[in-house]
Amino acid sequence: MSSQAVVRMSPQSNLGDIFVCMRFLGGMMEVGVIGLGSMGFAMASHLLAAGHEVTVYNRTEAKAHPLIEDGAMFSHDPAGAAQGDIVITMLSDDHAVESVVFGMHGSAGDGSDVIEGLLMHQSPNCIHVSMSTIGVQLVKRLEQGYAAQGKQFISAPVMGRPDVAERGELVVMASGNKSAIDKCQPVFDAIGRITHVVGDTPVQAATIKLAANFMLSSMIETMGEAFALVRKNGADHHKFLEIMAKDFFKSPIYEKYGAIIANEKFGGGAFTVKLQEKDTRLAVAAAIESQVPMPLLFAIENAFLSSIGQGKGDMDPCAIAQLAAENAGLR
């Protein structure tokens, strides 16, 4: 609906109805953000800056304080963040998403660690947008669960590291009900530079995200092996990177990740070997379920496991490139 559209309200319309229509005309929405890691925090910050009403939930409330100072509201349970137009989940893994959506009763015994699930307590008109990188089996369960409740669920994982999220330049890949995706577009515009609609079922976007992460990991692995070959024969691996990244592939991915490998700057950050291994493991599960042979994927999973076993789990994922150097006797 354009900002020039005419809205005709019946005499029985109340102020709440009028406010809702005005809110959508202006592009302002009530958005919940569940999960305030590096990615979720950046998303919530951009949503606030765009003028949306934002309610956040995080198990550690202290992480929300800067957002609260900027105008966000804090909910003490996930369901409280799912009473508006849209609720985003941006969580670390399948278990965290399952706990939030289906609920969790912990072992404390005093009710302090009980999480009321979104599925049963989410507002009927609220759209759940899953932006986490999660497995295809879980996405199918979520889709079935929401369909059974007559509630809306779409998948919209993103590509981009935390620094990209901070700049509001994420690439959003959305799939599911087209009408629901259209309603979410103002939110996607606030957090990303482009939105790709990739299908009409949530599992399609989830699969594309896993495939994209596999390609990224394979680029890291091949650069590590190529750099080892170049170095072992006395050539300048920095010059090799310049040729590959600027004159051959012309890719910011090769340029950025290649520089990390060439300079051996593997210091820890929000994007780690452990997290990339988790995503790779999800891709392995999807390949097995789909009966798609992916020998390189399995080799890369082993590389991540080897790095974790060597105590490099909290380093940048590019640290797997060290394995090739070590195997070549360069370290």
Q: Are 156 and 188 in contact (CB under 8 A)?
A: yes
Nearest to 158 by CA among 111, 198, 105, 106: 198
Nearest to 155 by CA among 211, 122, 212, 201: 201
DSSP string, 264-311: T-----SS-HHHHHHHHHHHHHHHHHHT---HHHHHHHHHHHHHHHTT
C-alpha to C-alpha distance for 1 and 6, rounded to whole angstroms: 10
Contacts of 160 (CB under 8 A, 6+ apart): 169, 170, 171, 192
C-alpha to C-alpha distance for 93 and 37, rounded to whole angstroms: 12
What single letter denotes the amino acid at residue 287?
A
Return the residue matching tokens 């939930």: 57
What single letter denotes the amino acid at residue 192?
G
C-alpha to C-alpha distance for 162 and 89, rounded to whole angstroms: 16
Q: Are 127 and 184 in contact (CB under 8 A)?
A: yes
**Which one of 151, 209, 278, 312 is the catalytic residue?**
209
Return the residue matching tokens 């991540």: 304
Kind of pairing, strands 158-159 and 152-155? unpaired
Catalytic residue flag (residue 178): no
Determine the angle formed by the axes of helices 202-232 and 252-263, rounding to 10 degrees: 50
Q: Are 57 and 32 in contact (CB under 8 A)?
A: yes
C-alpha to C-alpha distance for 25 and 115, rounded to whole angstroms: 35
Catalytic residue positions? 209
